[in-house]
Amino acid sequence: MTVKTRFAPSPTGFLHIGGARTALFSWLEARRQGGEFVLRIEDTDQERSTAESVEAILEGMQWLGLDWDEGPYYQTERFDRYREVIQRLLDEDKAYYCYCSRERLDELREGQRARGEKPRYDGRCRDLDGPPEGAEAVKPVVRFRNPQEGQVVVEDRVRGRVAFDNSELDDLIIARGDGTPTYNLTVVVDDADMGVTRVIRGDDHLNNTPRQINILKAMGVEPPEYAHVAMILGEDGKRLSKRHGAVSVLQYRDDGYLPEALLNYLVRLGWSHGDQEVFTRDEMLAHFSIDDVNRAASTFNPEKLLWLNQQYLKTLPPEEVSEHLLWHFGQLDINPAEGPPLGEVVLALRERSRTLLEMAESARMFYEEFEAYDEKAVRKNFKGRAQEVLERLHAELSGVTEWNAETLHAVVTGAAESMELKLGKVAQPLRVAVSGGAVSPPIDLTLTLLGRERTLARITRAIGQIPAESEAD
């Protein structure tokens, strides 16, 4: 049997960390076994669903590289199918109309809570032959006729065997008074129609599972296998929220994280393979199994994610990093055509960058002029013999015919020796002159990437600044 999984987000918000992990686990489980992965947008909540959220979900999935084989399907395009199933359940006496008013149901629940009972529908309309007297103006809902005896046993791939007594499950609503279907009906019909064989989702859905299995059986459909994954917690042990970092997946893109790093981090939230921390996508596909996912909740650690991102910046091929860096250049209005090849800049900056955003900001000096010098760097380095040093370097660099790191290194070290200065007393004023600050890649590499014309022009500019800065000091 071909394994078929699905990811079915509700577009009432963005794709967040928890949803992305569910999508990843579902994607890996299908891909590992040569199966199929379905993307379904559960947009029946028309008041809260937005086109913006749909677009953010699709964009987030594409950025993460979680491609789908079918879809995206939209539940709002399948209302005729849901109505067909609801009518069939009514015709087969597996569902019934309920005429109870909202006021009666609220009163019923309040009384049950006051008596310490579990709030649930009492089945008042379950055996009616027709509308009760005075119900002409009521728009009835449709309730599923849940079995009242026996158990529903879920052989969960993560949690193990979980049993539910049917006597504890009330007759849930499957169609509202306006005829629109509810979640527990639509998800069941979709999973059946789309041939989903394995449902991977958060354990907050576990209580829905016995109800959904009963509806599937009423439809004559064999239920899929289920795997309910434990929630993700913040470092304070509470459910993950925005203050912990549970923001849109696209926010991590905007903040300069690589998709490979985020996927690697997500796969380790509840799953492990020995002591390995860093996984390529191929290694995830080779080793991942939903059966190996831990039942315990996972803790989100932003520092660990940042560490992983650094590892990927250092080890991914420069051309791969460059593709993502180019996107950030676009966001920062940096023109990549106005400077050195992007791959060379990645190699120069990868050791000192934690995020792509930091890398892009650091790379700016190679592609455009900086507006001002860092005041602290100026006070520390534009003093003493700094003007003499820069004038000497400008003269010697002007005569360089082979503009490469080796030659430029020889010029800088030679100037330091001939002027009887420590290398830092030469390299640092030069660094501030050409970069505007006290930090850059090694000075010979910095000059190489800047090129002759930009380097000499910036040294000239700095020489003109030093007297004024020295007086200010």
Q: Which residues are catalytic?
A: 242
Q: How far apart are the first and last CA of the chain?
A: 78
**Of 69, 43, 137, the residue nearest 99 (C-alpha):** 137
Cα–Cα distance between 186 and 294 in angstroms, integer? 29
User: 């009906």: which residue's tokens?
Assistant: 185
Residues 6+ apart with CB under 8 A from 183: 42, 44, 208
Which helix (H) or strand (E) is 226 found in, with range? strand 225-229
Cα–Cα distance between 392 and 433 in angstroms, integer? 13
